[in-house]
Amino acid sequence: MKGIAFYGKGGIGKSTTISNVIAALSVNGKKILQIGCDPKHDSARLLLGGFTQMTVLEQLNTIGTVSLDTVMLTGYNHVKCIESGGPEPGVGCAGRGIIQTLQLLKDQGLDTQQFDYVFFDVLGDVVCGGFAVPMRDGYADEVYIVSSGEIASIYAANNIAKGLQRFTSTNGKLGGIIGNLRGINNERQILEMFAKKIGTTIVAFIPHNDIIPQAELASKTIIEFAPNTELAHIYSKIANYIEYHSNPVIPTPLSDMDLEEFIQEFCYGAKKIKILQQPQTCVCNNLQQITAQNVDDCKNSITNRAIQVSVPKEKPPLYGCSLTGAYNVISQINDAIALMYSPQGCAYINYCSHQSTLPDLNTPYISNLLCTNMQETDVIFGGTKHLDEILTDLQKRFPTQPIFLITACPVGLIGDDINSLTAKLNTNKQQIIHVPTDGVIGGDFYLGMLTACKLVAEKFIDKTVRPTDDGINIIGEQNLSTTANPNFKEVNKILTALNIKINCRYIRQTNIEEIKNFKKAKINLPLSNDQMVHDLSNFLDQHFGTETLQIPLPIGFEQTVEFTRTIARKFNKEALAEKLITEAQVTYEKDKKQLEPFFAGKKALINSNGANIDWLQLALQDIGVKVTTISTFNIFTSDGSPLSKSGIKHSEAKLMEDAIRLNDPDFILSARYLTTANIPCDFFPTLPVYGFNSGLDYAKKLYFKLKIPFIEGWRYDE
C-alpha cells in the first residue's frame, strides 16, 4: 500500500485532480481508497456521482459511533471513498476533526493494507497540526502539491513544503507539483522555477479546459466523462508518474525573504530587490528576528519587508490557570452555579482541590460546581448547541440562581460564540454570565480571580446603594489557603472589638444579596497584598467609589497595631483601638517574658525565600535573639540547577556555609526544609496566621521544637 496526499490552496482544484488521478489508476485495476479531509466533504463527489455520503464526523455527531459500512462507499471502478466531513464554517475545529477521523477509522479496523493506494485529499494550507496529520509518518508516503502560478497559490505551496520539511525525518515525501493552470502570464515558467527552488519537479501541467466544468456538472471525472480527451491523457500521465516514476524528496522551502524575492522577480516581474547573501541574526525589541548583514541593515530590511518574525520571547510560567482562578471566586458565591464549559478533568481537579484544601470550613457545604463535560464532538463541531441544551436544562433546574459559565482551554481554541448564546438565554429572573477565562489562554490563576471579581462586581453591585457608617468590606481573601479562615477569625476579632460590621467578604462565603449591597460599606479592607488585590482594589475604588485601605497585613505585633489603628482612624474608633492594643500588649509582654529566659542571647540564622518576614525577625528580637537573615533561594525563579540533600542548591550551599561560619548561629530557621547535623533547624511558615501574636506564637512552638533531636529518627531511613 502506498499513501498519497494532495495538498494545495483552497479552491485550486485538488479534489478534481485527485479524483481524476484516482479514476485513472483504477482503470489500471488498482484498489484504491480515497479519504477526503475537508469539512466541505466534496472530495469524492466526482467518483460517487454526486453528494451521497454520510461523513465520518457527521455519523459521530448524530449517532455517537462510526461504522465503516456506512461511511465507506464504493464509487467509480470500485474505488472506496470516505469523507471526514467537519464543522459548519466558522465553528469548531476542523483540524481536530481530521485527527479524530483518522483515529476513528483506525479504531474501526480499517485495513489500509488491502488497498494499493490510499489517497488523502486535504483542505487548503497546513494551517494547524490537524491538517498536517496526513503528511505524517504512518499516513502518506508521498505528498503532491496542486498549485497554479498565482501568488497566493505559490505562498500556500511554499507553506506546505515547510510543513512537509518539518514532518520528514528520514525519507523524502514531496512527490512533486501538479500545475493546475489558471491562464496567467508565464505560469508554466513560474511554477517550474518555483519547483526547482524548492527542490522538486513539475509532475504535469493541467491546462484550463471547459470540459472540466461540464464533467463536474455531470458529477463525473474526466476519465469517465471524456476518456479520449487530451485532459484525460494528462490525468493518466500523472497516475502513471505516481505509479512508476515518483522520486520523492525532502523539500527545501523558501524563506520568507527568498519567497518575497521570487514573487517580485517572477510573478510581478519587478526589479530584483537587494538580497543579503549571508544572513546573520540580530534581535530587535526582543520580539522580531531580522535577517541582516549587520545591525544597520535592519532598517533597510524592514522597509523592504524582508522580515522574518520569529516566535515571541518566552514568557515566564503561568501558575495555575484563569479557569481555576475564576472558579476560586465563583465557588464562594453560595447561591450561584458555577458551570465549567470544559472537559470533565478540569472540573474534577478543581472540585477535588477545593474538597481537600478546605477542611477548615466551619459548615460543610455542597459545591456549586457543575461541568458540561465537553466531548470530542463539541470540539470538532463547536459546542454551542450542546451548551444551549445544558443551559436550558439548568435554567429549569435552578430557575433563580445566576449561572456563571467559566470556560476552559479548548473553548478558547475552537472559538465558540458564547456571548450570543448567553444573551439569548438570559431572562429577567436569571442571568447567565460568561466568565471568559479559556483556561490558561486567559492567563494565570490570579488573572482568573481578577476577571471573575470584576465581572461579578459589574453584574451585581448595586451602584445606587448608599453607605452606612459602620460597615467594611473585606477583599482579597486567599480562598485556597488553609489559613484563610484562621486569618479571617483574627481580623474579625479586631473588627468586632472596634464595633465595625463586616458588610461583604468579596469574594468568600458570600451571596448575591451581600454583593448587591457591597456599597453599603465605603471602606474596603484588603487581606492580602498581591498584585491581584491591588488591581481589584483599584477597580472597585474607581468604579464603585469605595476606598481601599493601604494597610500592612496584620502579621505580628507591630503590623497588627498599625493595621488596627489605620482602620480605627477611618471609623473614628481610636479609643477602642487603643484599648484593644493595650490588651494585646499585655498578652504579648506576658508571652515575651515566658520566652526570654530561653531565647535571650541566642543567635538565629534565617534563610528566607525573599518574602517579608518582619513579623518573625521583630518577634525574635523582642525575646532577645540576635537575628541574621539571608535569602538563598526563591521558589519561583529557580534556574533548575541541582539541589543538595540539605535542601539548598549546591551553588548556594557556599553562601549558607559562610553564613553559618560567620554568625555561629544557635539555630537556623528556613523557609524550606533543611537539616544540619550539629545545628537545630526549623521550617518556618511563609504564610503565618494573622494577629498580634503571629511571631510569638511561632516562637512558642519553636521553644519546644529546638529541644527535640536535630534530626528525627525517621529521616535516617530514607
Partner 1 sequence: MMNNSLTPHRPDSLSGAIAAFEGIQEACTLLNGPIGCKFYTAYMANILAPHPKHESDECFSNFYFGQTRLPCTYIDEQDFIYGSEPKVTQALKHVDLKQHSLIGIINHSGTSIIGDDLTQIIKNANIKTPTVAIDSTGFTGTYASGFQNATIKILDKLLNNKNKQKIPQTVNIIGSTIFHYNWENDIAEIKRTLKLLGIQTLSAICAGESIDNIKKAGQAELNLILNEEYGDKIANYLEKEHNIPCIDLNLQAPYGISASETWFKAITEFFKIPNEIIKTKARQVRKKCYHALAQTSSYTNNLRGTPFTIFGDTSQVYALTTFFYEYLGLLPVTIGIKEIGTKNYEALKNYLTHNLPNTHLLINPDQYEITDYLNKTKPTLLFGSSIEKNISLTLQKIPHFIPTSFPYHEKIILTNRPITGFNGTLTLIEDIINAIK
Enumerate residues 412-451 that contact partner 1 by CB under 8 A: 412-414, 439-441, 445
Q: Rule CB under 8 A: is residue 291 a binding residue for partner 1?
A: no
Nearer to partner 1, 369 or 580 (CB): 369
Instruction: Establish whether 520 is a catalytic residue.
Output: no
Residues 507-526 that bind partner 1 (CB under 8 A): none
Give CA angle at 137 (132, 143), nearest 5°: 60
Backbone dihedral region of 199: left (phi > 0), alpha (psi from -120 to 50 degrees) or beta? left
Residue 178, classed as helix, strand or coil, is: strand
Residues 375-404 that bind partner 1 (CB under 8 A): 375-376, 378-379, 390, 394, 397
> Which residue among 81, 132, 242, 561 contacts partner 1 (CB under 8 A)?
132
Bridge partner list, 121: 6, 36
Nearer to partner 1, 317 or 597 (CB): 317
List 2, 40, 570, 602, catalytic entry: 40
Residues 478-497 that bind partner 1 (CB under 8 A): none
Stretch of 178-186, 237-245, 371-379, 656-664 lying at the interface with partner 1 (CB under 8 A): 371-379
Going by C-beta distance under 8 Å and a sequence separation of 6 or more, which residues neighbour residue 290?
Answer: 281, 282, 284, 298, 301, 302, 307, 308
Residue 510 DSSP one-character state = B
Residue 118, classed as helix, strand or coil, is: strand
> Which residue among 222, 346, 455, 625 contacts partner 1 (CB under 8 A)?
346
DSSP track, 608-643: E-SS--HHHHHHHHHTT-EEEEEE---GGG---PPB
Residues 259-278 that bind partner 1 (CB under 8 A): none
Q: Give the β-pairing of 288-292 and 280-284.
A: antiparallel
What is the contact mask toward partner 1 in residues 594 to 623, using x (rule: CB under 8 A)?
A: ------------------------------
User: In the structure grid, which three cell numbers stand for residue 411, read together?
Assistant: 473553548
Nearer to partner 1, 22 or 394 (CB): 394
Instruction: Establish whether 602 is a catalytic residue.
Output: no
The C-alpha atoms of residue 419 and residue 175 are separated, in whole angstroms, by 46
- Give min distance, CB of 140 to partner 1, in A: 13
Stretch of 132-140, 208-216, 282-290, 685-693 lying at the interface with partner 1 (CB under 8 A): 132-140
The C-alpha atoms of residue 325 and residue 340 are separated, in whole angstroms, by 12
Nearer to partner 1, 410 or 554 (CB): 410
Is residue 330 a contact partner of residue 299, using CB atoms and an 8 Å limit? no
> Which residue among 88, 111, 137, 574 contacts partner 1 (CB under 8 A)?
137
- Give min distance, CB of 373 to partner 1, in A: 4
The C-alpha atoms of residue 82 and residue 584 are separated, in whole angstroms, by 79
What is the contact mask toward partner 1 in residues 567 to 586, using x (rule: CB under 8 A)?
A: --------------------
How many C-beta neighbours within 10 Å does residue 640 have? 6
> Which residue among 318, 523, 549, 618 contacts partner 1 (CB under 8 A)?
318
What is the contact mask toward partner 1 in residues 50 to 89, using x (rule: CB under 8 A)?
A: --------------x-------------------------
> Which residue among 3, 343, 526, 552 contacts partner 1 (CB under 8 A)?
343
Is residue 416 a contact partner of residue 446, using CB atoms and an 8 Å limit? no
Q: Rule CB under 8 A: is residue 349 a binding residue for partner 1?
A: yes
Q: What are the phi and psi torsion angles at 708 (to 5°)?
A: -85, 165
User: In the structure grid, which three cell numbers stand for residue 215, read together?
Assistant: 464533467
Residue 87, classed as helix, strand or coil, is: coil
- The CB-based long-range contact list for 644-647 (8 Å cut-off, 24+ gap) reads 646/674, 646/675, 646/676, 647/672, 647/673, 647/674, 647/675
> Which residue among 14, 41, 96, 519 contacts partner 1 (CB under 8 A)?
96
How many C-beta neighbours within 10 Å does residue 225 have? 21
> Which residue among 271, 315, 429, 661 contacts partner 1 (CB under 8 A)?
315
Residues 637-656 that bind partner 1 (CB under 8 A): 638-645, 649
User: In the structure grid, which three cell numbers stand for residue 588, read together?
Assistant: 504579648
Residues 159-178 that bind partner 1 (CB under 8 A): 166-167, 169
User: In the structure grid, which three cell numbers stand for residue 388, read together?
Assistant: 444551549
Nearer to partner 1, 374 or 504 (CB): 374
Q: Is the preceding omega at residue 507 within 30 degrees of 0, hence cis? A: yes
Closest by Cα among 46, 60, 57 to 83: 57
Round to the nearest angstrom and report the end-to-end CA distance of the chain.
Answer: 56
- Give min distance, CB of 614 to partner 1, in A: 24
Residues 659-718 that bind partner 1 (CB under 8 A): 718
The C-alpha atoms of residue 185 and residue 551 are separated, in whole angstroms, by 74
Residue 39 DSSP one-character state = T
Stretch of 190-198, 314-322, 510-518, 687-695 lying at the interface with partner 1 (CB under 8 A): 314-322
Nearer to partner 1, 597 or 642 (CB): 642
How many C-beta neighbours within 10 Å does residue 260 have? 18
What is the contact mask toward partner 1 in residues 173 to 212, using x (rule: CB under 8 A)?
A: ----------------------------------------
Residue 266, classed as helix, strand or coil, is: helix
- Give min distance, CB of 60 to partner 1, in A: 11
Q: Rule CB under 8 A: is residue 109 a binding residue for partner 1?
A: no
Is residue 149 a contact partner of residue 188, using CB atoms and an 8 Å limit? yes
Closest by Cα among 135, 119, 126 to 173: 135
How many C-beta neighbours within 10 Å does residue 347 have? 25
Nearer to partner 1, 349 or 575 (CB): 349
Nearer to partner 1, 313 or 661 (CB): 313
- Give min distance, CB of 309 to partner 1, in A: 11
Amino acid at 46: L
Nearer to partner 1, 468 or 644 (CB): 644
Quick one: CA dihedral 322, 325, 329, 334, positive or negative? positive
Q: Rule CB under 8 A: is residue 136 a binding residue for partner 1?
A: yes
Q: Rule CB under 8 A: is residue 356 a binding residue for partner 1?
A: yes
- Give min distance, CB of 587 to partner 1, in A: 35
* Widest pairwise Cα distance in the chain: 110
Nearer to partner 1, 107 or 417 (CB): 107
Stretch of 213-221, 350-358, 519-527, 699-707 lying at the interface with partner 1 (CB under 8 A): 350-358
Amino acid at 589: E
# residues near partner 1 by CB under 8 A = 82
List 38, 42, 121, 125, catalytic entry: 125
Instruction: Establish whether 14 is a catalytic residue.
Output: yes
User: In the structure grid, which three cell numbers stand for residue 375, read together?
Assistant: 466531548
- Give min distance, CB of 99 to partner 1, in A: 6
Residues 234-253 that bind partner 1 (CB under 8 A): none
Nearer to partner 1, 24 or 99 (CB): 99
Nearer to partner 1, 201 or 482 (CB): 482
Closest by Cα among 50, 44, 61 to 100: 61
The set of catalytic residues is 9, 14, 40, 125
